[in-house]
Amino acid sequence: MEVPGSLSISVIKMKKAKAPRVPVLESAFEVNLPKLLRAVKASGRPEVVMIDGDERTVAVLSDTRLAVHLGGRVWLADIVAVPCLNDRVRPLLKCPRAHEGNLQSLYWRAGELACRHCHGLRYRTSLVTGPVARARLAREKLVERLGGVPGDCVPDRPHGAWRKRYACMSGRIAYLTAVHYDEVRRWLKAASSTL
Protein backbone atom coordinates (compact mmCIF):
# COMPACT_ATOMS: atom_id res chain seq x y z
CA MET A 1 0.00 0.00 0.00
CA GLU A 2 1.43 3.39 -1.01
CA VAL A 3 0.98 6.34 1.30
CA PRO A 4 1.77 9.71 -0.43
CA GLY A 5 4.91 11.36 0.92
CA SER A 6 6.08 8.39 2.97
CA LEU A 7 7.61 4.97 2.69
CA SER A 8 5.78 2.15 1.01
CA ILE A 9 4.19 -0.28 3.44
CA SER A 10 3.25 -3.79 2.48
CA VAL A 11 0.39 -5.37 4.34
CA ILE A 12 0.28 -9.12 4.58
CA LYS A 13 -2.67 -10.90 6.07
CA MET A 14 -1.48 -13.80 8.16
CA LYS A 15 -3.67 -16.74 8.92
CA LYS A 16 -3.99 -17.39 12.60
CA ALA A 17 -3.45 -20.93 13.72
CA LYS A 18 -6.76 -22.10 15.04
CA ALA A 19 -6.54 -23.90 18.32
CA PRO A 20 -8.91 -26.82 18.54
CA ARG A 21 -12.00 -25.63 20.35
CA VAL A 22 -12.82 -28.68 22.36
CA PRO A 23 -15.80 -28.23 24.69
CA VAL A 24 -14.82 -28.63 28.33
CA LEU A 25 -16.80 -30.83 30.70
CA GLU A 26 -16.57 -28.36 33.57
CA SER A 27 -18.41 -25.63 31.64
CA ALA A 28 -21.51 -27.70 30.73
CA PHE A 29 -24.68 -27.88 32.84
CA GLU A 30 -24.58 -31.26 34.58
CA VAL A 31 -27.59 -33.41 35.49
CA ASN A 32 -26.09 -35.85 38.02
CA LEU A 33 -28.35 -38.72 39.11
CA PRO A 34 -26.74 -39.48 42.52
CA LYS A 35 -26.99 -35.79 43.52
CA LEU A 36 -30.63 -35.73 42.42
CA LEU A 37 -31.41 -38.92 44.37
CA ARG A 38 -29.84 -37.45 47.53
CA ALA A 39 -31.85 -34.23 47.11
CA VAL A 40 -35.09 -36.19 46.59
CA LYS A 41 -34.38 -38.32 49.65
CA ALA A 42 -33.63 -35.22 51.79
CA SER A 43 -36.73 -33.29 50.69
CA GLY A 44 -39.13 -36.22 50.41
CA ARG A 45 -40.54 -34.82 47.14
CA PRO A 46 -39.88 -36.06 43.59
CA GLU A 47 -39.36 -32.49 42.26
CA VAL A 48 -35.91 -30.91 42.60
CA VAL A 49 -34.77 -27.42 41.57
CA MET A 50 -31.29 -27.55 40.01
CA ILE A 51 -29.07 -24.45 39.94
CA ASP A 52 -25.77 -24.25 38.03
CA GLY A 53 -24.47 -20.71 37.67
CA ASP A 54 -27.15 -18.71 35.83
CA GLU A 55 -29.05 -21.80 34.72
CA ARG A 56 -32.04 -22.93 36.83
CA THR A 57 -34.32 -25.81 36.06
CA VAL A 58 -36.72 -28.33 37.59
CA ALA A 59 -36.17 -32.08 37.52
CA VAL A 60 -38.82 -34.65 38.36
CA LEU A 61 -37.71 -38.14 39.35
CA SER A 62 -39.71 -41.36 39.28
CA ASP A 63 -38.50 -44.94 39.76
CA THR A 64 -37.83 -45.50 36.06
CA ARG A 65 -37.61 -42.06 34.47
CA LEU A 66 -36.06 -38.61 34.88
CA ALA A 67 -37.79 -35.56 33.40
CA VAL A 68 -35.79 -32.32 33.13
CA HIS A 69 -37.13 -29.01 31.80
CA LEU A 70 -34.31 -27.37 29.82
CA GLY A 71 -34.40 -24.97 26.89
CA GLY A 72 -38.19 -24.66 26.87
CA ARG A 73 -38.61 -28.40 26.44
CA VAL A 74 -38.97 -31.45 28.67
CA TRP A 75 -36.17 -33.99 28.26
CA LEU A 76 -36.81 -37.58 29.33
CA ALA A 77 -34.11 -40.05 30.31
CA ASP A 78 -34.72 -43.62 31.40
CA ILE A 79 -33.26 -44.83 34.69
CA VAL A 80 -31.77 -48.31 34.43
CA ALA A 81 -31.01 -50.53 37.42
CA VAL A 82 -27.54 -52.01 36.95
CA PRO A 83 -26.58 -54.96 39.17
CA CYS A 84 -23.44 -54.52 41.28
CA LEU A 85 -21.55 -56.60 43.83
CA ASN A 86 -23.29 -58.11 46.87
CA ASP A 87 -26.69 -58.16 45.12
CA ARG A 88 -26.87 -54.37 45.08
CA VAL A 89 -28.45 -52.31 42.33
CA ARG A 90 -27.04 -49.03 41.05
CA PRO A 91 -29.34 -46.61 39.20
CA LEU A 92 -27.83 -45.11 36.04
CA LEU A 93 -29.19 -42.93 33.23
CA LYS A 94 -29.60 -43.87 29.59
CA CYS A 95 -28.54 -41.18 27.14
CA PRO A 96 -31.55 -39.61 25.32
CA ARG A 97 -29.51 -39.80 22.09
CA ALA A 98 -29.43 -43.60 22.43
CA HIS A 99 -25.69 -43.76 23.07
CA GLU A 100 -24.63 -47.21 24.23
CA GLY A 101 -23.92 -47.54 27.92
CA ASN A 102 -25.44 -46.31 31.13
CA LEU A 103 -24.14 -43.13 32.69
CA GLN A 104 -24.19 -41.30 35.98
CA SER A 105 -24.45 -37.80 34.46
CA LEU A 106 -25.99 -36.13 31.44
CA TYR A 107 -24.98 -32.67 30.19
CA TRP A 108 -26.98 -29.78 28.75
CA ARG A 109 -25.07 -28.09 25.95
CA ALA A 110 -25.94 -26.53 22.59
CA GLY A 111 -29.67 -27.00 23.16
CA GLU A 112 -29.47 -30.73 23.79
CA LEU A 113 -29.32 -33.07 26.79
CA ALA A 114 -26.92 -35.94 26.14
CA CYS A 115 -23.92 -37.78 27.59
CA ARG A 116 -20.37 -36.46 27.45
CA HIS A 117 -19.50 -38.85 24.62
CA CYS A 118 -22.28 -37.54 22.38
CA HIS A 119 -21.32 -33.91 23.09
CA GLY A 120 -17.60 -34.64 22.70
CA LEU A 121 -16.84 -33.14 26.10
CA ARG A 122 -13.36 -33.53 27.60
CA TYR A 123 -11.96 -32.86 31.04
CA ARG A 124 -9.91 -29.67 31.25
CA THR A 125 -6.90 -31.62 32.56
CA SER A 126 -6.83 -33.83 29.47
CA LEU A 127 -6.43 -30.76 27.23
CA VAL A 128 -3.45 -29.13 28.96
CA THR A 129 -0.06 -29.40 27.33
CA GLY A 130 2.23 -30.51 30.12
CA PRO A 131 2.72 -31.46 33.76
CA VAL A 132 3.19 -27.86 34.91
CA ALA A 133 -0.16 -26.80 33.47
CA ARG A 134 -1.78 -29.84 35.13
CA ALA A 135 -0.17 -28.81 38.44
CA ARG A 136 -1.59 -25.28 38.03
CA LEU A 137 -5.08 -26.66 37.39
CA ALA A 138 -4.83 -29.02 40.37
CA ARG A 139 -3.76 -26.07 42.55
CA GLU A 140 -6.73 -23.99 41.37
CA LYS A 141 -9.12 -26.85 42.18
CA LEU A 142 -7.71 -27.26 45.69
CA VAL A 143 -7.92 -23.52 46.38
CA GLU A 144 -11.57 -23.52 45.21
CA ARG A 145 -12.35 -26.53 47.45
CA LEU A 146 -11.03 -24.56 50.42
CA GLY A 147 -13.31 -21.64 49.53
CA GLY A 148 -10.80 -19.37 47.80
CA VAL A 149 -10.47 -17.80 44.36
CA PRO A 150 -7.98 -19.46 41.94
CA GLY A 151 -5.50 -16.55 42.12
CA ASP A 152 -5.35 -16.58 45.93
CA CYS A 153 -2.66 -17.93 48.20
CA VAL A 154 -3.63 -20.69 50.61
CA PRO A 155 -7.08 -19.72 51.99
CA ASP A 156 -7.88 -19.81 55.69
CA ARG A 157 -9.22 -23.03 57.14
CA PRO A 158 -12.99 -23.18 56.59
CA HIS A 159 -15.15 -23.36 59.69
CA GLY A 160 -15.73 -26.97 60.66
CA ALA A 161 -12.93 -28.38 58.48
CA TRP A 162 -10.60 -30.94 60.01
CA ARG A 163 -7.17 -29.57 60.89
CA LYS A 164 -5.29 -32.60 59.55
CA ARG A 165 -7.13 -32.51 56.24
CA TYR A 166 -6.60 -28.75 55.93
CA ALA A 167 -2.88 -29.17 56.70
CA CYS A 168 -2.60 -31.88 54.06
CA MET A 169 -4.44 -29.79 51.44
CA SER A 170 -2.45 -26.62 52.18
CA GLY A 171 0.79 -28.62 51.93
CA ARG A 172 -0.34 -29.94 48.55
CA ILE A 173 -1.15 -26.38 47.42
CA ALA A 174 2.34 -25.24 48.49
CA TYR A 175 3.94 -28.11 46.53
CA LEU A 176 1.92 -27.39 43.38
CA THR A 177 2.75 -23.69 43.64
CA ALA A 178 6.45 -24.56 43.90
CA VAL A 179 6.22 -26.75 40.78
CA HIS A 180 4.64 -23.88 38.84
CA TYR A 181 7.16 -21.26 40.04
CA ASP A 182 10.13 -23.56 39.34
CA GLU A 183 9.01 -23.72 35.73
CA VAL A 184 8.58 -19.92 35.62
CA ARG A 185 12.12 -19.48 37.02
CA ARG A 186 13.52 -21.91 34.40
CA TRP A 187 11.75 -20.01 31.64
CA LEU A 188 13.04 -16.64 32.89
CA LYS A 189 16.58 -17.99 33.15
CA ALA A 190 16.42 -19.35 29.59
CA ALA A 191 14.93 -16.06 28.32
CA SER A 192 17.62 -13.96 30.02
CA SER A 193 20.44 -16.14 28.65
CA THR A 194 19.25 -15.58 25.05
CA LEU A 195 19.35 -11.80 25.41
Flag whether pLDDT at 18 surpasses 60. no
Q: What is the sign of the dihedral through the CA atoms of 165, 168, 174 and 179?
A: negative
Least confident of 76-80, 103-107, 151-155: 151-155
pLDDT tier at 23, thresholds 50, 70, 90: low
Amino acid occupying residue 55: E
CA–CA dist 92, 176 (Å, integer): 35
The domains of the chain are located at 25-115, 131-193
For residues 54-66, give the mean pLDDT: 85
For 149, left (φ over 0), alpha (ψ -120 to 50), or beta? beta
Model-level pTM?
A: 0.64
pLDDT tier at 15, thresholds 50, 70, 90: very low
For residues 47-76, give the mean pLDDT: 85
- Find out whether 117 and 25 touch, Cβ atoms under 8 Å: no
pLDDT confidence of residue 8: 38
List, for residues 130-183, the tens digit of each pLDDT value.
888 888 888 888 888 888 887 778 888 888 889 999 999 999 999 998 888 888
Flag whether pLDDT at 21 surpasses 70. no
